Amino acid sequence: MSDLRVNTIGDSAGIGPVDTLPRSGGSAFTLGPNWGALEFVSGANISNVTNIDVTSLAVGYDYIFSIQGAVPENDGVILTAQMMQSGSALSGASNYMDTDASTALELIAGNTIGNAADEGINIDVLFPEPNVADRRKRLITTSYSGAGTGGGETGIASGEPWGGRLDVNINACDGIRFLWSAGDWQALGKIYTFRRRLS
């Protein structure tokens, strides 16, 4: 059996990641993030906290945050997010615009999430090119399904994908904060961070 050589593939800078696939097994060879696939960044169990922050968002990527099996501590609350600049969350009274000016962006349109064991939410949120200056920043809920008080499911089919814009400025952002409209997160579920390269 011969090696499969990939030394003719170059990255955008013309510097080819010359390498040789291992004959069997092995983890030394990893395809770089240059080929259009989502790159896994991190995963963390959700603790009983008020805010879930993901910081140090790099230049040159779109970010996708995937929150799975999360449940709020309070019943009937809305999942929201705030963007961060220089490591601090922006939380001014009119920093954001969704349906109206607000302190945080609502990620699910017109639906509240329940706190029972069979309620909660699974949601993916796209943050396109956060760490670029001089362009408007938006969050986009790309998919979700969640259960409000009473256990009935709502989601992309019955609710609306949502999000909104950072209104206070168009500066580069280097983090994101997820928080409920009131109360904390239960210590359930997981948050994953992925990114896709923009060059």
Partner 1 sequence: MARFSQVNGELVPFTSAEETARDIEEAAWLADTPRREAQAVLEAWDAKGFTRAWESTMAPIEAAGNVSEYDANVLEEKRAARAVVVG
Binding residues for partner 1, rule: CB under 8 A, are 42, 44-56, 77, 91, 103, 110, 177, 181-185
Min dist CB 186 to partner 1, Å, is: 12
Residues 6+ apart with CB under 8 A from 2: none
Residues whose CB is less than 8 angstroms from the CB of residue 15 and which lie 6 or more positions away in sequence, other chains included: none
Residue closer to partner 1, measured from CB, 142 or 181: 181
What lies within 8 Å, CB to CB, of 140 at 6+ separation is: 125, 126, 127, 128, 161, 163
Which residue, 11 or 75, is less far from partner 1 as judged by CB? 75
The string of DSSP codes covering 15-48 is -----B--SSS-SS----GGGS--EEEEEEEPPS
| Complex with partner 1: residue 11 or 184, whichever CB lies closer | 184
Shortest Cβ 177–partner 1 spacing (Å): 8
Nearer to partner 1, 21 or 182 (CB): 182
Task: Pick between residue 74 and residue 169 the one whose CB is nearest to partner 1.
Answer: 74
Q: How far is the CB of 50 from partner 1 (least distance, A)?
A: 4
* Minimum CB–partner distance for residue 175 and partner 1 (Å): 9
User: Backbone dihedral region of 25: left (phi > 0), alpha (psi from -120 to 50 degrees) or beta?
Assistant: left
What's the rounded Cα separation, in Å, for the pair 143 and 106? 14
Least distance from C-beta 115 to partner 1, angstroms? Answer: 15
